[in-house]
Structure 1
């Protein structure tokens, strides 16, 4: 039966009603600071205001760029709220004031921003979620390096660990994603002319983050991310119209993590594979420890993995080894959940240990049939 003729369940009807009440999110995405995301947002805001929409600014970061400051013009700005934190008075976007003001559209910059610790919500994207729930449309902006699943790739490219990140799943709730793209040469020229950072920071930026190779790689990531987003939207539209089914319907991905340095990187890699295949992701931790005997550090690690699992809509499993070899425990879980692809980190064992105790990968291959195994290198990203 075609989807449009199938009778909807009460849950689906309620979900559709909530979706219709929700505001629309449009995000400008760029490869780096200075590409012109905020400028484009302000241009669109003026165009929409001219068409009769009630448009306000919730928060705009001009970074003292005169062209951007001038473009604000007569747009109404919702005042920020003051927050007392450790004896200091700090400013944050006033989410409740925006909701009370109830405009047709609000501009909110720096989507990945972390709020002052005593704020009602930890991250600005969470504030945006509340505003969208209230039925207000949002225009926002973010750079590619702030996407959670790209964290390790960006660190490997630039040597910089980006601490402020947003879930990919939130970005994918946007009704529209617009790439603001300029070449590395133009971006470096803007930086040299003092249009991005204060003159005192220009030389350091040009020789570190804003190198031509870094900007080229980040630009490629941005182009690929937006292209993938377009593909996903086409696939969803086709699926809704009964033209095809999800490409990874027979696939299931499982990531195996231990208490090493690359566990989160493995999870992000697994999610990107599962997301491309439109299939389920399982995160597996095999252990011989009972929870009450774990160290504080290991407990924190497991909580971090669970946080990523929730963010990536993955199933998190802790499997007790119970006198089995670790390879047997992994394959038992894989068989139980019909896993078709297993992702492992590079073994920390020496060559002699592998000869003496056996290769985990070889043993998994011996215990399974028809399962692909991906080995992710444990190479550390370069630092500057």
Structure 2
């Protein structure tokens, strides 16, 4: 997008995301780079780490490489990506491997992802690689799964702000086979890797995390598309079930029914309570019991504030693309509904594109059974 007269359009950033070394991120990045070069784009390698893998090195082909910058530190010399040399060139597209890398002290920027931000701001397109365990928000989760504290992290917004994220997937068993063939590490390191990071339980968990991240990215992109085009009707790409909690009558049956529906449909489930006023002691007891069951069933509870309960429920359902709403019959009398309106009627009228399941309360259900 052009930022105005005299400004430089920001470059596009594509991230190849994986869940472990050896899944094929760098190879896929090189393959795309070669395809772009064949189409006439000027593509250069800013930084590439082949780890001595013959298959990776073979994919470099005729891609030119910007010489690395020499950085002295504590009597030794290290090589880093020369961001300033890339800016001086500048190419249409640059490859930047290992996005989470920490630059040697004394470098212009502390992190490689910060170098990438500079390149993007200069209008250069970037292809980069990243493993999901390097996301800052997942640091504690990865430690719990693997027992390893990942020291190099990338802020989550780097992934969120990317123009395109491609998951490079492989089954954990196939990845272990690559490891044991010596395709990832040298033979003397294979046994240690199998005992640590490359345990199949670790790999399965990390793969699931990566897949969930990609699903969230797709979901965010879909929501942006619908918002930009003012599409109010939800698209049922997957089911989202909303259970409506009431402070005046128990919602335990509704919570359990919603949980069973979500489990059967493999959909997302949320319980929503609208606080129109501070609850009275009896209502507090009802809500406490409802919240306890929601917690036991691992159902997230969202509390909204607003004097118009129906309006808040409608707004939330539309914003979150809810596909099903589960709620109980109104406990208002006929005269109360005439004077103040019925929440059920409002939802039925205003959420015509969403399925509503209106459950009988326990007393009514018992009488009907008799």
Decide: shared fold, TM above 0.5: yes
Secondary structure at 1:218's aligned position in 2?
A: helix
Question: Residue in 2 aligned with 1:43?
Answer: 31
Instruction: Flag the 1:178–1:160 CA change in 2: closer, same or farther, 3 A.
Output: same
CA distance in 1, matches of 2:7, 2:207: 33
Gaps of 5+ in 1: 1-12, 248-276, 278-334, 336-364, 376-384
CA distance in 1, matches of 2:6, 2:216: 27
Question: Residue in 2 aligned with 1:199?
Answer: 187
Secondary structure at 2:44's aligned position in 1?
A: strand
CA distance in 2, matches of 1:159, 1:169: 25
Question: Residue in 2 aligned with 1:140?
Answer: 128
Instruction: Give 1:17 deviation, angstroms.
Output: 7.6
Gaps of 5+ in 2: 235-239, 241-269, 276-283, 296-370
Secondary structure at 1:91's aligned position in 2?
A: strand
Instruction: Flag the 1:51–1:15 CA change in 2: closer, same or farther, 3 A.
Output: closer
1:129 has 2:117 as partner: yes
State the number of aligned residues: 250
1:181 has 2:177 as partner: no
Per-residue CA deviation, residues 265-286 of structure 1 (Å, 9 max, x unaligned), is xxxxxxxxxxxx9xxxxxxxxx
Instruction: Give 1:101 deviation, angstroms.
Output: 0.9
Instruction: Flag the 1:87–1:47 CA change in 2: closer, same or farther, 3 A.
Output: same
Secondary structure at 1:76's aligned position in 2?
A: coil
Secondary structure at 2:179's aligned position in 1?
A: helix
CA distance in 2, matches of 1:15, 1:138: 19
Contact 1:190 1:196 in 2 (8 A): yes
CA distance in 2, matches of 1:32, 1:216: 10
Instruction: Flag the 1:14–1:202 CA change in 2: closer, same or farther, 3 A.
Output: closer
CA distance in 2, matches of 1:141, 1:178: 10
CA distance in 1, matches of 2:165, 2:89: 26
Question: Residue in 2 aligned with 1:223?
Answer: 211
Instruction: Give 1:87 deviation, angstroms.
Output: 1.7
Structure 1-normalised TM-score? 0.60
Contact 1:56 1:77 in 2 (8 A): yes
Per-residue CA deviation, residues 288-317 of structure 1 (Å, 9 max, x unaligned), is xxxxxxxxxxxxxxxxxxxxxxxxxxxxxx
Structure 2-normalised TM-score? 0.62
User: RCO higher in 1 or 2 (8 Å CA, sep ≥ 6)?
Assistant: 1
Instruction: Give 1:243 deviation, angstroms.
Output: 2.2
Q: What's the C-alpha RMSD, in Å, of the aligned pairs?
A: 3.1
Contact 1:239 1:245 in 2 (8 A): no
